[in-house]
Amino acid sequence: MNCSESSGRYARDEFGRALVERDYRIRTDPGMSAGVYPQGGTEQPHGITASLLSTAAVRSGDIFDSVTARSRVSLGV
């Protein structure tokens, strides 16, 4: 799958921006199992503090929790 094919699988808002979930994962269609977690560019859904370096550890923890939870579900654990 090339970039132009996969870009249609991301949910977007009325301005064409990717919809980012609470766990920093870009919302995708149900058929896409790979997670996309942007670094930066999440100020719209998460507020201006999302870009601050001081929140990087918390953001990393949220992403880690999301990846491991989704992995457990897909593995049936």
Sequential DSSP letters for 20-35: B-TTSPBPB-TT--S-
pLDDT at 55: 74
Q: In 3D, which of 44, 38, 10 has the Cα closest to residue 24?
A: 38
Q: Which two tokens stand for residue 21?
A: 């979930």
Residue 67 has pLDDT above 80, yes or no: yes
Q: What is the mean pLDDT of the chain?
A: 76
Asked if 31 and 71 touch (Cβ cutoff 8 Å), the reply is no
Annotated domain spans of the chain: 3-75
Residue 29 has pLDDT above 80, yes or no: yes
Residue 34 has pLDDT above 50, yes or no: yes
pLDDT at 1: 45
> Given the structure tokens 């896409």, which residue do they identify?
32
Rounded to an integer, what distance in angstroms lies between the CA atom of residue 28 and that of residue 32? 6
